[in-house]
Amino acid sequence: MSERTIIFKGGLVAGARAVTRADVLVADGVIAEVAPDLAAPHGAAVLDASGCVVGPGLVDLHTHVREPGDEEAETIESASRAAALGGYTAIVAMPNTEPPCDSASVVADVLARGRSASCEVAVAGAITVGRGGRALAPMAEMAELGVTLFTDDGACVHDGDVMRRALEYTKGLSVTCAQHCEDPVLAAGGVMHEGRWSSMLGLRGQPTLAETSIVARDLGLVALTGASLHFLHLSAPESVRLVAAARDRGLPVTCEVAPHHLTLDDSQCVSYDPRFKVNPPLRPTALVKELIELLRAGAIDAVATDHAPHASERKDLPFDEASPGMLGLQHALGLTVEALGGTETLDLLVLFDLLSRHPAAIAQLRGADERRAGHSPHGGDVAVGEAANLCAIDLESPTVVTDASIVSRSKNSPYVGRTLPVTVRHTLLRGVPTVLDGAAVR
């Protein structure tokens, strides 16, 4: 056995179809054996997995790595460390960097910087040049580098004709467009959800209609073009219902929600603490409850973080001037378990579907792709021959979020002080530990 032999002992295994009690042997980056009570081979590193479930490494569809352009807020390296501590083995970097990922050269640069990171870094390309919403970006050229997801995230492709052409163009490239649904006219510069709280706090609100109207329009465009479309960070239950109904009719659409829309509501804005400012905004309790119900009912494909680090000088501002967004990678797993109802009744297959298997499928990270040099398959089965992108989640140890535990370069988490129901114990990237006993190791 080589020194890259690792064995998870004493835990549960969340496979593609069933949860079993088994040990997992990993050798040379690949799963070598999955069976109960395996004997540790000589020289193997034994990882205690008691109380844990071992499953596929998590995959985030929605990370703002801030590199290039805003390395004070976050870097690929720091984001990937936060990701590994959160149980992730792959993230999709959003293109709203400076310069934006709207050309092959910037995409190649970010991919290259990601090769030494603590998780694999896929890149989403921009749909339009400069994310300006007008001229189509060279998506075929970016697709050649292995880009499978295109979005102007941070901005909505608001012009219906541009969005239609983007869908028609990407259909022939075997890639997927992803939309940030926000009609800027209806949102009207709103800095929080429009309702009772915005009205009392004197803050400009944006109605859920700013989101749902774009969802409805784009579902129509999918029907018109036949192209696939992914809906980013849906915050309104009505948006999810529209997508789910279209999916049931056979349209090639998927959607994600962010953990904060499942665990925080707009009443938090009463403190005027800009850590609670995010776009789309936090919604009222009643809508949060509906969104949780839809998550539990299987209407939502994936939970994605919308990890959005901001340096303190962008958050230590009046609420309406502060940048929107909050950290997500380190705590999304615990928050998702919370939204699903806690560890007692947790369906582990559903958990890994939402956080690993479905996002991997949406970003086309499940198979090997020769265009993506150095990348391995994610979101697979925990079975012999699969790439050893794995995480072990301790279901019996809660985590208390502290300022000091945040490894992002920015600290804008609204969850400091909150207790999350689980802890990430170990993470393996291609068979090599990135997290051991809850600590980052590379």
β-pair partners for 326:
307
Contact between 320 and other proteins by CB under 8 A: the answer reads yes
Tokens standing for 114? 């990601």
**DSSP-assigned beta bridge partners for residue 393:** 53, 424
Confirm or reject binding of residue 417 to other proteins (CB under 8 A). Answer: no
Q: Indicate if 306 belongs to the active site.
A: yes
Least distance in Å: CB of 195 to other proteins?
6
- Our finding on whether 190 is near other proteins (CB under 8 A) is no
List all residues 6 or more positions away from 276 whose beta carbon is below 8 Å from its beta carbon: 264, 268, 269, 282, 326, 414
If binding is defined by CB under 8 A, does position 316 make contact with other proteins? yes
Least distance (Å) between residue 209 CB and other proteins: 12
Beta strands in 4-113 (DSSP E): 5-9, 12-14, 19-21, 23-27, 30-35, 45-48, 52-56, 58-63, 88-93
Task: Report the candidate in 357, 356, 257, 250 with the shortest Cα–Cα distance to residue 297.
Answer: 257
CB of 312 to other proteins, least distance (A): 9
Pick from 116, 199, 285, 419 the residue near other proteins by CB under 8 A.
199
200 touches other proteins (CB under 8 A): yes
Q: Is 195 in the site for other proteins (CB under 8 A)?
A: yes
| Residues in region 252-271 near other proteins by CB under 8 A | 271
Q: Which residue has the tokens 């049931």?
A: 248
CB of 403 to other proteins, least distance (A): 16
Determine if 201 is a binding residue for other proteins (CB under 8 A). Answer: yes
Distance (Å, whole) CA 414 – CA 312: 13
Minimum CB–partner distance for residue 202 and other proteins (Å): 3
Catalytic residue among 23, 60, 265, 306: 306
Q: Closer to other proteins at the Cβ: 116 or 285?
A: 285
Looking from the CA of 4 toward its CB, the CA atoms found within 13 Å total: 13
Q: Are 65 and 79 in contact (CB under 8 A)?
A: yes
For other proteins, the closer CB: 196 or 371: 196
Any contact of residue 20 with other proteins (CB under 8 A)? Answer: no
Q: What is the CA radius of gyration of the chain?
A: 21
Pick out residues in 205-244 that bind other proteins (CB under 8 A): 205
User: In terms of CB distance, is 28 or 321 closer to other proteins?
Assistant: 321
Report if residue 313 touches other proteins, rule: CB under 8 A: yes
Which H/E stretch holds residue 16? none
Decide: is 293 part of the binding site for other proteins (CB under 8 A). Answer: no
| 269, 241 contact by CB (below 8 A) | no
Active site residues: 306
Which residues of this protein are in contact with other proteins, per CB under 8 A? 194-196, 198-203, 205, 271-273, 313, 316-321
